[in-house]
Amino acid sequence: MGTTPPEALLICEHCDTVYRRQPLAHGDVARCACCYAVLERHHGLSVNVMLALVLTAMIVFVQANMWPIVTLGLNGQLSGATLWGTIIVMWQQQAQVVAVLAAGTLFFFPLLKMSLLGWLLWFGRLGRRAPGFVPMMVTLHYLQPWTMSEVFVLGALVAIVKAHLYFDVMADPGIYAYAVLTLLITVFAGVDLRQLWELTPEDRA
């Protein structure tokens, strides 16, 4: 082992077992033999496809945020809600903690994540490291667990069913945009962003 350069090695994050990196074929998943955690995943998405997915996600995200999600009717009166309408109402109703959580996990973090990815992939496509590559990659790592759009979609479903007991409920375009966004998030879930470190060569100053 002493002669193997560290770059050719891989450490399982879940149990500290050391492996020699094996080239993965299309669609392969390398699992740790000790704890069965996923070590590396080779997904079939090229940089161009990933960039296209991120840009699509951004467009859908804008729509999901602008359009109302659901509208309720009671005796001819209508009441609709958008994501930001929801956040503002929570703030006004003495639930600022919830407003901040929702604004972060449903708006700012997903938006930041998509923008950073778009920026990094745009340059990655040209075989270059984007300006600010390192701090952006670190930020992406910490952002990873804090985006919750898919939970919100399920929450909207539950809210619709609950409201349906007392009101007329109309699903608005926003909910469909959210559904598409969830689909894109699922497609992207299998992508290991760490591969971006190897995709583009380091500029030695």
Comparison of 63 and 139: residue with beta carbon closer to another protein = 139
Find the shortest distance in angstroms from Cβ 114 to another protein.
Answer: 18
By CB under 5 A, residue 14 contacts Zn ion: yes
**C-beta neighbour count of 108 within 10 angstroms:** 14
**Contact map string, positions 114 to 153, toward another protein, x by CB under 8 A:** --------------------x--xx--x---xx-x--xx-
By CB under 5 A, residue 34 contacts Zn ion: yes
Binding to another protein, residues 30-59 (CB under 8 A): 33-37
Amino acid letter, residue 116: L
Selected from 11, 35, 134, 151, the binder of Zn ion by CB under 5 A is: 35
In the numeric block, which tokens belong to residue 57? Answer: 């996600």
Q: What CA–CA distances, in Å, run from 73 to 46, 153, 166, 168?
A: 46, 21, 9, 5
Amino acid letter, residue 138: V
In the numeric block, which tokens belong to residue 71? Answer: 């509208």
Q: Which residues pair with 72 in a beta bridge?
A: 79, 169
Selected from 75, 201, 204, 205, the binder of another protein by CB under 8 A is: 75
d(CA 66, CA 182): 17
Do the beta carbons of residue 102 and residue 94 sit within 8 Å? no
Q: In sequence order, what are the residues at sequence separation of 6 or more whose Cβ sits closer than 8 angstroms to the Cβ of residue 46?
A: none
Binding site for another protein (CB under 8 A): 1, 6-7, 9-11, 13-18, 33-37, 69-70, 72, 74-75, 77, 79-81, 85-87, 89-90, 93-95, 97-98, 101-102, 105-106, 134, 137-138, 141, 145-146, 148, 151-152, 154-159, 161-163, 165-167, 194, 197, 202
Residues engaged in binding Zn ion (CB under 5 A): 12, 14-15, 17, 32, 34-35, 37
